[in-house]
Amino acid sequence: MTSNGIGKQNWLIPDCELPPPGDGVLKGHESVIVVNDSNVDAEIKVTLFFPDRDPVSTITWKVGAGRVRCFRMNELDDMCGFEVPLESQYAMKLESNCNIVVQYGRLDNRQTNLAYYTTMAFSQ
């Protein structure tokens, strides 16, 4: 583990859209996986941007030093009580007090072949 950790402190996920859970065995969802490779606990401010409403910046995540954590957008506890609207475009910004690595995933089962993909968030 490095003192400052691998990764960056600021991340952006531009293409978010929470699908409905659906009826299949695999439930539709979105998730953000955060890896904290540093020696300090990560405190992450999350801001959600929408095309038709003000940003939401009441969400804070914590990931322990040397830990990984998966946050689900359909879990009220993970979203600090904010209910992400289903099937609505939004973007997400993460600002951490230490370097982290961020990956985004979505499982959409609205059609029989379903779609699951992951992508690394943008950072600079």
- Which pLDDT score is estimated for 117? 66
Alpha-carbon span 66 to 35, nearest angstrom: 8
- Looking at residue 30, what is its pLDDT? 93
pLDDT of residue 70: 97
Q: Does residue 59 contact residue 46 with C-beta atoms inside 8 Å?
A: yes
Domain count, the chain: 1
List of the chain residues with pLDDT < 50:
none
Residue type, 40: V
Determine the structural domain holding residue 39 and report its residue range.
Answer: 8-123
pLDDT for the residue numbered 84: 95
3 domain-assigned: no
Round to whole Å and give the CA distance between 65 and 61. Answer: 13
* pLDDT value, residue 67: 97
CATH code assigned at 98 = 2.60.290.11
Whether the CB-CB separation of 8 and 123 falls below 8 Å is answered with yes
Q: Which amino acid is at 51?
A: P
Side-chain-facing half-sphere of 100: CA atoms under 13 Å: 32
Residue 2 lies in a domain: no
